[in-house]
A and B are shown apart, each in its own frame.
Chain A
Amino acid sequence: MPEEGSQAKEKMIKIAIVGSPNVGKSVLFNALTKRYVTVSNYPGTTVEVSRGTAKIDSLKCEVIDTPGMYSLLPVTEEERVARRILIDERPNLVIHVVDAKNLERMLTLTLQLIEAGLSLILVLNIMDEAQREGVTIDARVLERELSIPVIKAVSTKAKGIDALKQGIKDYAERL
């Protein structure tokens, strides 16, 4: 253990990216990690889980890209694995990625994750398509209602990645 530096900066924080299928979790995961990614079957299942490390300035993070889940009450093997990761691996921070177009269907999981006592950042992804469909979202109001940080993003165009990194750093500093 290195002695110098504040504890928060030297500690490795564990981040889990969760969300339903097709909301851009993996794109976000790749944008955060870039290197050192391993993909392996979750023990005892045929479900694949990607893990990688990210370095945000001096903050080191282990990032887990979980299989798609709609709810904490699992129906599929994928959902079961995603929940097991949250329970067994105890991530410090959970990034919930949602499709901004279908916020109504997606927020249920956000509420469940908050209820589960997890530290959460909500990422409203695919904002471009939402805007094209005439959907406007007031992120500040959402932040107030949910009492968690909310970030708008278009992960395929690398929009919102910096804000997310800042959000992760802010979280680590509060630790």
Chain B
Amino acid sequence: MQKDYKGPVEYSLEIAIEKIVGLLKEDYGISKRAIALLLLQDEEEIKALVREKETEALSKIEAIIEEISAHYIHPLTYELALERQAQVRQIISKAVTVKQEKVSIREKISRLSMNPITGLPLVLFVLYWGLYKFVGEFGAGTVVDFLEGTIFAQYINPFITNLFVRLLPWEILQDLFVGEYGVMTLGFRYAVALILPIVTFFFIFFSIIEDIGYLPRLAMLLDRTFKKIGLSGRAVIPMVLGFGCATMAVMVTRTLATKRERIIATILLALAVPCSAQLGVILALLEGNLPGMLIWAGVVGLVFLFIGYLTAKILPGERPSFYMEVPPLRWPKIGNVLTKTYVRVKWYFKEILPLFLLASVFIWLGKLTHLFDLVINLLRKPVEAIGLPHQASKIFLFGFFRRDYGAAGLYDLNKQGILTGLQLVVACVALTLFLPCIAQFLMTTRERGWKVGLGISAFILFFSFGVAYILNLLLSNLGVVL
């Protein structure tokens, strides 16, 4: 199909296209005209392809493109898009008729969900009932209590422990498999009794809002805010997933368009997005302490926005563009939800189980070589610097192995009455920001490479204590009593 692109006659795009087509000698699988158009739009991969196939032609082509670009106000991509759009409109006007109807209820709800004034309260509503009540209280609370407290603690663990103690007479090896942090008693149990139910419930929630068509609307709603922190609406999905399990969310950052966006999302997930396991324990800790909870949420939220904004400023690269289809709202289909949940849980569990088992081995090695005592001693100074008792240093180390284990340790300390309200809030903030769990760390290095993974961890290590230090200083000097 031939088209005439307008413009000053002697520099018309059509002439440039013809010239470029004339220079292309090789076979490209698609028409030379299409290749010429892509070259005019400065497409890297096609440029590389042409450079590889016919080196000499490219420099001549680039000269043509440079000359023609100078005669248009807008980038050629934009000019071409305008031309195409006009052409499409013309075809549409001939072939399509739309009956104007009243705005349906679905459409009204859809608009409300994307309007900031009504949309933001709706997000809070969805998060409260879906994430906090359904995944947190029911999944991570009731179901986990039953699986872990009853099934594992009373039946499986005693049986396995007994078995291994009989099979392996060496205490060191017994520790590896069935000790306090054993591969079976911690790694396996943690994956099956804790992560599996939490993630299953999370995926049910996620699949339902996905099936309804809520996610693209959420992405549209948050796109503007996300742009400021170097992300696009596309990043809504990994961020929402991060509240379920950040390890999985890091894996999902693959779907983001640019490397820059992937790195920013990974940093934010590691730093300021607590996973459901951690969130559950922290919410329990601060329950009934409304000012404390607000301070915690406020500080973590601010850190999220601030670091996002800062990394977006520092990291080179283009701002992401975002364009998304918004499908109509639909009633969720039970079959869809179940299938999606099943497939995801299965895939996720296969990815995550080996990492948990590996983490147990690391803990075993750490204890065996007394490396842990060393690290706990190293952490002692910074922990005391942020105004916490030295017993808290252990929490941070274990928090690295299990995010919520650190929080649970805090829970124990708090029960012993060692912590003041202020210390508790500072500790919660520090622990939320502190290094993600080892599984997330391993996933980060796998997705982003060792350099980025270690760099992010080093930054977080200092930053989390820095924020906690300032918060402690601020609150104590202001004489805040929580």
Interface residues of A (CB under 8 A from B): 20-22, 46, 70, 72-77, 80, 83-84, 86-88, 90, 99, 101-104, 107-108, 111-112, 114-118, 129, 133-139, 141-142, 145-147
- Residue in contact with B85 in the complex, picked from A22, A108, A137, A141, CB distance below 8 Å: A108
B31 touches A117 (CB 8 A): yes
B233 CB, nearest partner CB in chain A, Å:
13
A127 CB, nearest partner CB in chain B, Å:
12
Known interface pairs A73-B77, A114-B1, A134-B100. Does A107 touch B91 (Cβ–Cβ under 8 Å)?
yes
B208 at the binding interface (Cβ < 8 Å): no
11 contacts between A and B (CB under 8 A): A72-B37, A73-B43, A74-B43, A87-B29, A108-B84, A111-B88, A115-B1, A115-B33, A133-B101, A141-B94, A142-B91
B111 at the binding interface (Cβ < 8 Å): no
B95 touches A142 (CB 8 A): yes
Given known contacts A134-B100, A135-B96, what 8 new A-B pairs fall within 8 Å (CB)? A87-B49, A90-B29, A103-B96, A107-B88, A112-B34, A118-B30, A134-B99, A136-B99
- Residue in contact with B29 in the complex, picked from A86, A108, A139, CB distance below 8 Å: A86
Which residues on the A side are within 8 Å of B51 (C-beta)?
none
A75 touches B91 (CB 8 A): no
* Chain B, Cβ-Cβ closest to A84: B45
A115 touches B29 (CB 8 A): no
Query: Roughly how many angstroms separate A83 CA and B100 CA in the complex, as a whole number?
Result: 37
- Residue in contact with B89 in the complex, picked from A104, A118, A137, CB distance below 8 Å: A104
Interface residues of B (CB under 8 A from A): 1, 28-31, 33-34, 37-38, 41, 43, 45, 49, 77, 81, 84-85, 87-89, 91-92, 94-101, 254-255, 257, 321, 323, 325, 327-328
- Residue in contact with B45 in the complex, picked from A80, A90, A101, CB distance below 8 Å: A80
Which residues on the A side are within 8 Å of B29 (C-beta)?
86-88, 90
A46 touches B33 (CB 8 A): no
Which residues on the B side are within 8 Å of A145 (C-beta)?
91, 94-95
- Residue in contact with A137 in the complex, picked from B43, B87, B96, CB distance below 8 Å: B96
A72 touches B38 (CB 8 A): yes
Query: Roughly how many angstroms separate A133 CA and B103 CA in the complex, as a whole number?
Result: 10
- Residue in contact with B30 in the complex, picked from A80, A102, A116, CB distance below 8 Å: A116
A72, A134, A136, A147 pick with most chain B CB within 10 angstroms: A72
Which residues on the A side are within 8 Å of B257 (C-beta)?
75-77
B443 CB, nearest partner CB in chain A, Å:
13
Which residues on the A side are within 8 Å of B97 (C-beta)?
135-136
